[in-house]
Amino acid sequence: MSAFVPEIQGNLRKFMLKVPEEIQRASGIKIFGKRIRSIVFTTDICIIRNVNADAVIAVYPFTPQPIITQAIMLSADIPVFCGVGGGLTQGKRVINLALHAEFQGAIGVVLNAPTTNKSVKNVFETIDIPIVITVVSENDDIRARLEAGAAILNVSAAAKTPQLVAKIRKDFPLVPIIATGGPTAESINATIDAGANAITWTPPTSAEIFTAVMNEYRAGKPHP
pLDDT digits (tens, 9 = 90+) for 200-212: 999 999 999 999 9
CATH class of 21-218: alpha beta
d(CA 216, CA 133): 42
Least confident of 10-19, 31-40, 148-157: 10-19
* 3: pLDDT strictly greater than 90: no
Residue 180 — very low, low, confident or very high, per pLDDT cuts 50/70/90?
A: very high
* 61: pLDDT strictly greater than 70: yes
The neighbour count for residue 180, using CB atoms within 10 Å, is: 25
* 93: pLDDT strictly greater than 60: yes
pLDDT digits (tens, 9 = 90+) for 140-168: 999 999 999 999 999 999 999 999 999 99
* 134: pLDDT strictly greater than 80: yes
What are the domain boundaries of the chain? 21-218
> What pLDDT is stored for residue 1 in this prediction?
57
DSSP code per residue over 152-192: EEEE--GGGHHHHHHHHHHH-TTS-EEEE--SSHHHHHHHH
Interstrand relation of 38-41 and 34-36 (parallel, antiparallel or unpaired): unpaired
- CA torsion, ordered 112, 203, 180, 116, to nearest 10 deg: 0
d(CA 1, CA 58): 36
* 192: pLDDT strictly greater than 60: yes
> Mean pLDDT across the chain, nearest whole number?
95
